[in-house]
Amino acid sequence: MTMDLSQDDMTPIPHSPLRVRQLFFLLTHGIMLFTLTGLGCETAYYGTMEKLGYHKRDLLVRDVTKARDAQQEAKEQFKSALDRFTKTLEIQGGELQEKYEALNSEYERSEAKANDVRKRIASVEDVSEALFREWNAELKEYSSPALRKKSQEQLTKTRTHYAQLIKVMKRAEVKMGPVLAKFKDQVLFLKHNLNAQAIASLKNELVSVEGNINSLIKDLNTSIQEADSFIAAMPKDNG
């Protein structure tokens, strides 16, 4: 059975002011409930980790370490990709299909490493936000003004150091996108033009690709060094 809908049937039904207020109320409280649920899950996670002996400070150091290691692996992978790209263009003869597959594999590995870096940096941002929020709230619990002041100074120092760390991490992260896009262009061009002329054309792009990757590697090195400095400066105790 088919239903014939006229233009009049498709006219939106106007809502009364009361209905609009009800919808707004439901929407607002739905968003609040979703937010509180998320915070509740976060609180439960950190509470469980603390019971296991892992405080937010420890989790932040752990995540910064993982982000640093991911950036180190990404750096090595991008260097490998550049080396493969250079050799592919320099080697005379050989199967063009094999050259494409080798380059494509390097691109896919580079993309995977870049995604891992992004994930690790996001984790660092999450745990740092929780740590600084808790630290700031707990300042009110001090009965000693001198100890509160000392803890406040340490919080300020740690926040400043963290801000520098996340700045250089994000700068390196942002650069990975354009480098991957440039690399993908070369791989796709070779795939669609499996001939000697394609290799000759890509040689003209080598300088640009090399410059982009070297710039990225420089930023990754800076970020890795900053991560090492941050980890070394973090307060260490058994509490």
pLDDT tens across 133-182, in order? Answer: 999 999 999 999 999 999 999 999 999 999 999 999 999 999 999 999 99
What domain range is 31 assigned to?
A: 22-54
Is 126 inside any structural domain? yes
Same domain, 111 and 95: yes
Q: How many separate domains does the chain show?
A: 2
Q: For residue 151, give the amino acid letter.
A: S
Residues 35 and 76 both lie in one domain: no
- Please report the pLDDT score of residue 33 as a whole number: 43
Backbone angles phi and psi of 5, in degrees to 5: -100, 125
In whole angstroms, what is the distance from residue 219 CA to residue 8 CA?
A: 62
Alpha helices of 91-205 — where are they, by DSSP H? Answer: 96-138, 145-192, 196-203
Helix pair 145-192, 206-233: axis angle to 10 deg: 160
Half-sphere exposure of 34 (CA within 13 A, CB side): 6
Instruction: Please list the ranges in the chain whose pLDDT falls under 50.
Output: 1-14, 29, 32-38, 238-239
- The contacts of residue 144 (CB under 8 Å, 6+ apart) are none
Q: Are residue 74 and residue 49 in the same domain, yes or no? A: no
Instruction: Give how far the C-alpha of residue 175 lies from the chain's centroid of Cα atoms, to the nearest Å.
Output: 12
DSSP state at residue 39? H
Note whether 137 and 38 are same-domain residues: no
Q: What pLDDT does residue 1 have?
A: 42
In a domain, 70, yes or no: yes
